[in-house]
Chain A
Amino acid sequence: GPKVLQIPSHQIIDMGQMVTLNCDPVSNHLYFYWYKQILGQQMEFLVNFYNGKVMEKSKLFKDQFSVERPDGSYFTLKIQPTALEDSAVYFCASSDRGQDTQYFGPGTRLLVL
């Protein structure tokens, strides 16, 4: 089936530093998403993005978070500065239309020390 790639698969970073998580969505998809999963808890919606804009974000999407997809390249999640509670697995997803199936990547495991 359609594949979403995420780079890197693992990232260890010191608290306060900036981190960028990269997502290579399914080509020709138009809607992009980030979800966060803390160890042992369910996956939670962070943000969705369409036509260069954030459409909706949850309360987990703090001011330190930002997303962009410049010129059809990677869809990125940037955290600046990072905090200990940002340690989690971050999943990217994409869909063709808003209500269509979201295809997920394998996740980036972020550890903030």
Chain B
Amino acid sequence: QQKVQQSPESLTVSEGAMASLNCTFSDGTSDNFRWYRQHSGKGLEMLVSIFSDGEKEEGRFTAHLNRASLHVSLHIREPQPSDSAVYLCAVGDLPGTGSNRLTFGKGTKFSLIP
């Protein structure tokens, strides 16, 4: 059974600093890796999906995947106050049914010091 852990639990950075969030998983055979974020009381907002080792950029968000190290990270460039939210790592498995099953971490609470 896939296990997903995120670190740190909370992260505060100053405006202009790069933010780095980490996610480790237990099973490197998973099919897809996604980063979502959740503003308080809202649904999940998709940020970036990555399917193979390396880097994937979506605007100011960049994901790095290293399956051998069982690690996927998210980097936020030039974070803004509106980026303050809980960031969730999700690891997806397609068990032959054609339907994706996501396993989530507990999240990293990210906030910005103006």
Contact = CB atoms under 8 A, between A and B. Distances in A.
Interface of A: 1, 4, 31, 33, 35, 41-45, 48-50, 55-56, 58, 91, 93, 95, 97-107
A35 B101 CA distance: 10
Nearest to B4: A42
B46 A101 contact: yes
A75 to B, nearest CB: 13
B9 to A, nearest CB: 12
Contacts, number: 70
A98 B102 CA distance: 11
Given A43-B88, A56-B95, A99-B31, A104 B43 contact: yes
Given A43-B104, A45-B103, A99-B31, A91 B44 contact: yes
B49 A56 contact: no
Nearest to B49: A101
Interface residues of B, number: 27
Contacts of A56: 95, 97, 99, 101
Given A55-B98, A107-B43, 8 more contacts: A1-B46, A45-B101, A49-B99, A50-B98, A56-B101, A98-B99, A101-B49, A105-B43
- Which 8 A/B pairs are nearest by Cβ-Cβ distance? A104-B44, A55-B97, A98-B98, A106-B43, A55-B99, A48-B99, A43-B104, A104-B43
A105 B102 CA distance: 15
Q: Quick one: which of B36, B49, B98 has the most chain A CB within 10 A?
A: B98
